[in-house]
Structure 1
Amino acid sequence: MRLFNLYSIQVCLLSLALFTAQLTAKEYLVESIQAYNEISPNLVAGDTVVLKNGIWTDFEILLQGRGAADAPITLTAETKGEVVLSGQSNLRLAGQYLVVSGLVFKNGYTPSSAVIEYRRDKQHLAFHSRVTEVVIDNYNNPDKLESDYWVALYGQHNRFDHSHLVGKRNKGVTVAVRLNSEKSQQNHHKIDHNYFGYRPTFGSNGGETLRIGTSHYSLTNSYTLVENNYFEHTNGEVEIISVKSGENTLRGNLFYEARGTLTLRHGNGNIIEQNVFIGNGVDHTGGIRVINKDQIIRNNYLEGLTGYRFGSGFTVMNGVPNSSINRYHQVENATVENNTFVNVKHIQLAAGSDAERSAVPINSSIKNNLIINDDQQQPFSAFDDVSGIEFSQNIANTQVLAELAYGVEKRDFSYSRLDNGLIYPESNEITVGVKRDLKVLAKQDTGVSWYPKTPAFVAFDSGKSRNVSATPEALLTAINQAKSGDILVLASGQYDMPKLIKVDKTLTIRALDKGQAKLTFERSALFEIHDGGNLKLDGLTISGENSPDAAGNSVVRTQKWGMVDNYRFDVSNSNIVDLDINHSFHFFVTGKGAFADQISITDTSFNQVTGDILRLNSEIEDLGIYNAEYVTLTGNSFVDVDGAVVQLYRGGTDESTFGPHLLMTNNELHNVGHGKRNKSNASVYLHGVQVTKYEHNDMLKSAPIVVEHTVGEPRTVISDNTFDSTMAPSVKELHVKGPHTAQIQNNKNNKVR
């Protein structure tokens, strides 16, 4: 009885405290940073701070205090979406039962290590706290290689939900769960219903969208739930999600045309279930990569994925015997069941097998899965002994590898798309694969309703056409007045441009009559691409005849340093002449740190060039960084070029990226690459390029193609070309012993004269 009375007294006291807190709770409408700083140290349970609508510049918000479960301390916007944090602003939470909502971060970057941080410092963390309905939109440090998080979760029992994150371009994970102290481990965080929008290709390691833990704490359990999030075009690097801790659940998420994979990089006992991966045939779209012990992958749907190797639709890795904590632990006791693979090009087993990664998967099972490929091409590759994976009761509409056939039944069956948008067998007798009631997450059910989910970038030729008369003043005025996506149509005549043209929007410059609009320039370059800039040139004649009599001119360049936005550059149906006023006159030069999603040159002629055509080799520190993802040259003529047509460089041993990619087809190279300042001694120089297709090109009296393979199992095909008085291609393996892996075939090698 005495114990009961004591308990009753404690309950009454707690209820009284909560009731008193509710009576004394206040709501503050705050109009300035100073006003906020005056009240914030004294906030108590139940208090609400409302930030007045407007732009708040350089506002470092610290929300701290001890709220209660039914009386949190709340910070919100007067109107959701109308409170914009700009300049060097951030948000930190420390204490218990704190709630933040309705804010927008844009037009600036964090002055600290994170935009939103669930801690004040190492000693003061957040617990039972929530950030909901916030937007972080292109809030990037202008130094692309300066690393920060957008959201960093510390402490325990915190939630990040219904938020909109798009356009992270500088180095660093978008959302990170940190386990670097005991009070942040076994945290039971929840990350749900967020919209993760476009994250452009970063061009090196450090572009994950979500990471749970790090290798140092990977044998620690996190118990984080990642549920019902939408990942659209999150292309930063090969790991979209990097799980580096144990006992996490990732459920009900949708990945739409996202280049990369959900990777179980470190940590054991994770559950991956009810996720949907839709690739639509987009290059390098991937699914799930399995490493470590006791992983469960069940009831996931994967369709239209093209990725291979570490970015495959499904990958089971080889491990390192007695692996250090930061390498690859052996796959053991993995369960892969009731998943559906539709038009998934690659399912790779024992992937990464080499002298170091020699520990094959063991004690694992792949069962009750459904495999459908419209092209009848079987998707499996086995790179080592896979007898440690037991296959059973799987069904495919294709033959599979002979060593797997015992556990994969080939069966002919009809299939169709059901109301949830997924493909299932029409016969109810086939019960393998995902459940028919699998819910597919809708994009509109994630993020916030009051902020638009806009396309990733403005397409060329998507705006208005503007006619330009044949004077340099008219062209400069038109460029200044153009909107992103517009097309400037140049009247016939000569445009002697006295100024450098800075391009900071998506712009097409096109000749009304092909070849009849001629541009010359008096500065060291004609065009300079800046952040936000994308440039398309069509049907022009560009001459270097009026350029300064100095070395190092170029027609187009990016800004020399400090670009954070990726760009696109397209040239077609044009004539480029007289780039020979002095030595080292290049057509295109990249600045350091600049990164092109796409560079394309089509049906264009180049004559009399003393430098390189495409100079994409500014990243020489061998850190895995490079300057362009896709470089495509089709149907061009290169005559009397002292330098190389392409200098493309990706150094180091990092395996977190897919590129660069080079496609050269149906080009003519005549007397290319023999200039004394061409240090590569090549007409095409490729170092560390991951995908090369050099086909149907004619080379006459030109320097050879030089290819240097590094890491990542590069794919190089050099076929159906004519080498007339040109040495055969040179291919070297810089890190792998043995003969090179390039496919060099069906080429005509006429005698070197």
Structure 2
Amino acid sequence: MQVQFIKWLAVFIVISAMSSNAGAKQYTVSSPDEYNAIASSLKAGDDVILQNGVYRDFEILLVGQGSAEKPITLTAQTKGKVILSGRSNLKLAGQYLEVSGLVFKDGYTPSSAVIAFRKDAQTPANYSRVSEVVIDEYSNPDRQESDYWVALYGKHNRFDHNHLTGKRNKGVTVAVRLNGEAHQENHHSIDHNYFGYRPVFGSNGGETLRIGTSHYSLSNSNTQVINNIFEQTNGEVEIISVKSGENLLKGNVFLSAKGTLTLRHGNNNRVEDNVFLGNGVDHTGGIRVINEGQVITNNYLEGLTGYRFGSGFTVMNGVPDSPINRYHQVNNAQITNNSFINVSHIQLGAGSDEERSAAPINSLFANNLIYNASLNQPFTLFDDVSGITFANNVANTKMIKELSEGFTTASLPLVKGENGLNVAKLNEPEVKGAETKDVGVASNMNVVSKSDVGVSWYPKIVPEVNFAAGKTIIVSADAAELMTALENASDGDVITIAPGTIVVPSVLIIDKTIMVTAQTPKATTLSFERSALFEIHDNGNLKLEGLVLSGKDSPDAFGNSVVRTKKWGMLHNYVLNVENCDIERLDINHSFNFFTSGKGAFADDISLSKNSFNGITGHVLSLDKEIEDYGIYNAEYVSITNNTFSNISGSVVNLYRGGTDESTFGPHLDMQGNVLTNVGSGKRNKQSASVYLHGVQVSTLKNNNFNESEPVVVNHTVGEPITAITNNTFLNTPMQMIKELFAPGPHTAVLNDNVSTKANKR
């Protein structure tokens, strides 16, 4: 009887399983209403297929209780052919849920995340997966409105083989949230994703990946970040910000990416087998070490130019008895078997100051390979480094005295391996006494490729601004013809204007990459009857060449500009180049600027070259709209070379970055070979400066002539700014005025070979 019962029970289980499998359903839906009609009834094993098409304002909630054998799935009919646009998002809640094949573009999330692994604070997703999803330029139009593209909650979730590119508004691209025990020790996997271009944000809030927050940083996340590619993820100094413990970051590749992988908070993280290829790009960095028990091993770093907190490698000083949101002392860091090839800066004790006075302790720097083709040794020590033991490292340059016992100097010819990485062909007699076979990364180190990450059906393209990529459109000196040509032009087109004079009756909107040039240099004059001639909008980039630009027909009102951005609300970074132009008669009323940035607008590059500016009642470049002192600014790179400036009431440039935030790269100013005559003396020039720089991080003023002008005024704020004022002539002009607004002691600017023929009048 018992045997018969057991046989019956076995048959019942099989029949039940078959019945359960048979009960799984497949739904094909083509609208939000159709989806919502079935969403609350999904069971384990059910599949939902979204038919190809564009779904606008579709907030998807995938909720249910799947199982490991029978997950609930949501996928596109054809991967890449289901577009979520407008105000759409995706939330997952429950367990064993899987989503794939969707594309988010042409819109932005109406909630705090495009994809959230939770329904609400009480209902996370566990054991769930999002794979082969694209989020492309899906940014809130208010660049200071913060959101995530992906927020991971719950436990044991996987985010893999996705493609994320073009986040332009504030907020972390992917965030692992640790808000309570239900989300800690989560064992998430973030793997094989393509993190594409993220433009420089121009303030804090531009991280690509963050694991935790300072509030929960003493908790463990146990998240693994494996085999992802980060290409030109340039948002801010921290590409990856680790703010929790026991995480593994392994096998990731960073391509021309400005910033660093930063162990900002949390202990006992492991960073291994990662590849950083800076390709000599400005501000490309590697790894920054803070806190206890960090292991950094078998990482390959090459062609990195960054310095200070963005260096190729940085070990920071901490704050004694640090509060949870500051800098904990480096303790028991194990830095072994890494290769530093043409890395410009390795900084130890970085950030040392009155507050950050706790130098690293109980740490090891061993078996590392350092090679610089320039033969410049890369180390800078900012504090006592006796708490770091240096052992069995090999370099091709002579080390500084404090490190010499831990390094062997040797000739290190490099050989490129099959994986594309350089290894040193060590010359044994020259490294006698060192166990060189164990120095640097393993020769068989695996390097993930672009074809291994993201999706195969969406292009991995980094956008470029090319002013001559399109066709040439020749127009006569006629306003209507010029306006029509601009309206019909495509990205990269060149509009060439025949000789003559044009009075433009309307503001010319620039919402594409456009070059406007004269058919015969200086034979075409543009004047304008509105408060601006050109206004740059999102997606706009403008180059002006060989033109005469006049304010003679402008309104008799204050605050005109030849070029301006939208007054507020720009999302896209832009480029402005002006070359070989004559700018004149911007004097019909006061405060007439050549260029005015709107609030929130951000330029990747502004360049003035070989121009003549004469008769301006305002500033040439007004880049000072972010006055709240939050570390925000209006332009990353400003280049002013070989121009003449005469009779300018305001400054040649007002460049302002307020606050004490340390997370940005710029602003940068390069001003060389210019002649300034009678610049800066207008009564409305509040700074009484010919050049006004506040909080600028990198400034070079070289070979300029200042005649009968106001001084250069420089205010240093934070970030150990680099200011060099050299080989300039000040004729009847006060010398530069430089202040350290927060740091004690004398200013840090380099002043060499400047000539003054008049004593300072201040």
TM-score by structure 2 length? 0.97
**Residue of structure 2 in register with 1:576 after alignment:** 583
Rate the CA distance shift 1:459–1:129 in 2: closer, same or farther, 3 A.
same
- Give the 3 Å change call, closer, same or farther, for CA 721–458 of structure 1 in structure 2: closer
1:616 shift after superposition: 0.2
Q: Verify the 8 A CA contact 2:410 2:427 in the aligned structure 1.
A: no
Q: Does the alignment pair 1:729 with 2:736?
A: yes
Change (3 A) 1:10 1:76: farther
Tell me if 1:443 matches 2:487: no
CA separation in 2, counterparts of 1:7 and 1:339?
A: 61
Give the deviation of 1:181 after TM superposition.
1.6
Cα 1:245/1:16, change in 2 over 3 Å: farther
Shift, 1:741, TM fit: 0.7
After superposition, residues 146-295 of structure 1 pair within 5 angstroms as 146-295=145-294
Q: 1:724 & 1:393 partners in 2: Cα distance?
A: 57
Which amino acid is 1:93 matched to? L
Alpha-carbon distance, 1:426 to partner: 2.5
The aligned counterpart of 1:718 is 725
Give identity over the alignment, percent. 62
Q: Which amino acid aligns with 1:703?
A: E
Go from structure 1 to structure 2 and tell me whether the alpha carbon gap of 1:327 and 1:7 turns closer, same or farther (over 3 Å shift).
Answer: farther
Matching of residues 195-594 of structure 1 within 5 Å: 195-427=194-426, 430-431=436-437, 432-594=439-601
Choose the corresponding residue for 2:692, options 661, 674, 685: 685
1:160 and 1:192 in contact (8 A); partners too? yes
CA distance, structure 2, for counterparts of residue 523 and residue 6 of structure 1: 93
Q: In 1, are the aligned partners of 2:411 and 2:427 still within 8 Å (CA)?
A: no
Q: CA shift at 1:416, angstroms?
A: 2.1
Question: In the aligned structure 2, how far is the partner of 1:659 from the partner of 1:455?
Answer: 21
Alpha-carbon offset, residue 457 of structure 1: 2.9
User: Residue 431 of structure 2 corresponds to which residue in structure 1?
Assistant: none
Letter in 2 for 1:282: V
Kept in 2, the 8 Å contact 1:573–1:604? The answer is yes
> Counterpart in 2 of 1:707?
714
Residue in structure 1 matching 2:629, options 606, 615, 622: 622
1:455 is matched by which residue type in structure 2? Answer: V
Evaluate the alpha carbon distance shift between residue 522 and residue 318 of structure 1 in structure 2; reply closer, same or farther with a 3 A threshold: same
Amino acid at match of 1:480: E
Helix, strand or coil at the partner of 1:526: strand
SS of 1:23's equivalent in the other structure is helix
When structure 1 is superposed on structure 2, of 4-13 and 375-384 the one drifting more is: 4-13
Amino acid across the alignment from 1:646: V
Q: Deviations over 1:560-587 (max 9, x none)?
A: 0000111100000110000001111000
Change (3 A) 1:217 1:513: same
Query: Shift of residue 13 of structure 1?
Result: 7.9
**Matching residue's letter, 1:329:** H
CA distance in 2, matches of 1:175, 1:16: 44
Whole-angstrom CA distance in 2 between matches of 1:664 and 1:742: 15
Alpha-carbon shift at residue 5 of structure 1 (Å) = 13
Q: Secondary structure at the match of 1:64?
A: strand
Amino acid at match of 2:232: H
After TM superposition, the structure 1 stretch with the greater mean CA deviation from structure 2, 16-25 or 379-388, is 16-25
Contact between 2:118 and 2:154, CA under 8 Å: does it hold in 1?
A: yes
SS in 2 for 1:324: coil
CA contact (8 A) 2:411 2:426 kept: no
Q: Counterpart of 2:433?
A: none
For 1:749, the equivalent position in structure 2 comes to: 756
Alignment of 1:124 with 2:131, yes or no, is no
Letter in 2 for 1:508: M
Quick one: structure 1 residues 409 and 46, their matched pair in 2 at CA, closer, same or farther if it must change by over 3 Å? Answer: same
Mapped partners of 1:10, 1:286: distance in 2: 63
Deviation of the 1:440 alpha carbon:
1.4
In structure 2, relative to structure 1, the CA distance for the partners of 1:10 and 1:346 (3 Å cut) is farther
Task: Output one character per residue of 1:168-220: Cα deviation in whole Å (capped at 9) or x when no partner.
Answer: 00000000000012110000000011110110011110000000000000010
1:85 paired residue number: 84
The change in CA–CA distance for 1:32 and 1:471 in structure 2 (over 3 A counts) is same
CA distance in 1, matches of 2:107, 2:718: 36
Counterpart secondary structure, 2:201:
coil
Query: How has the CA–CA distance of structure 1 residues 405 and 78 changed in structure 2, closer, same or farther, with 3 Å as cutoff?
Result: same
Deviation at 1:412, TM superposition (A): 1.1
Contact 2:371 2:412 in 1 (8 A): no
Are 1:666 and 1:696, in contact at CA under 8 Å, matched by a contact in 2?
Answer: yes
Q: Cα gap change, 1:27/1:682 in structure 2, threshold over 3 Å: closer, same or farther?
A: same
SS in 2 for 1:744: strand
Contact 2:298 2:337 (C-alpha < 8 Å) held by counterparts: yes
Shift of 1:10: 10
- The count of residues paired between Structure 1 and Structure 2 equals 751
Q: Which runs of 5+ in 2 are unaligned?
A: 429-435
SS of 1:283's partner is coil
Does the Cα contact within 8 Å between 2:247 and 2:269 map onto a contact in 1? yes
Shift of 1:455: 2.4
**Structure 1 letter corresponding to 2:119:** R
Structure 1's 583 and 64: CA in aligned 2 closer, same or farther, altered over 3 A? same
Which residue, out of 661, 666, 669, partners 1:659? 666
Q: Distance in 2 between matches of 1:662 and 1:326?
A: 32
2:22 is paired with a residue whose SS is helix
- Letter of the structure 2 residue corresponding to residue 301 of structure 1: Y
Check conservation: 1:458, 1:484, Cα contact below 8 A: no
SS at match of 2:483: helix
- Who is 1:42 aligned against? 41
TM normalised by structure 1 equals 0.98
SS at match of 1:79: coil
1:110-136 per-residue CA deviation (whole Å, 9 max, x = no partner) reads 000000000000111000000000000
Q: Is the 8 A contact 1:587 1:614 kept in 2?
A: yes
Aligned to 2:655: 648
Contact 2:465-2:541 within 8 A present in 1 as well? no
Partners of 2:92 and 2:116 lie apart in 1 by 6
Listed as ranges, the gaps of 5+ residues in structure 1 are none
- Tell me the equivalent position of 1:20: 19
1:639 aligns with 646
Is the Cα contact below 8 Å between 2:45 and 2:73 reproduced in 1? yes
2: CA distance, partners of 1:185 / 1:10: 40
* CA deviations over 1:587-644 (Å, ceiling 9, x no partner): 0000000000000000000000000000000000001100000000000000000000
Tell me, what secondary structure is at the counterpart of 2:35? helix
Q: Is the 8 A contact 1:526 1:556 kept in 2?
A: yes
The 2-side partners of 1:19 and 1:557 are apart by 69
Runs of 4+ in 1 over 4 A off after TM superposition: 4-18
User: Would the alpha carbon gap of residues 315 and 8 (structure 1) be closer, same or farther in structure 2, given more than 3 Å must change?
Assistant: farther
Cα distance between partner residues in 2 of 1:385 and 1:288? 20
Q: Does structure 1 residue 68 correspond to structure 2 residue 67?
A: yes
For residue 696 of structure 1, what is the aligned residue in structure 2?
703
* 3-state SS in 2 of match to 1:203: coil
* 1:631-690 residue CA offsets vs partner (Å, 9 max, x unmatched): 000000000000000001000110000100001000000000000000010000011000
State the distance in 2 between where 1:236 and 1:6 align. Answer: 66
Counterpart position of 1:670? 677
**SS, match of residue 42 in structure 1:** coil
Query: 2:133 maps to what in 1?
Result: 134
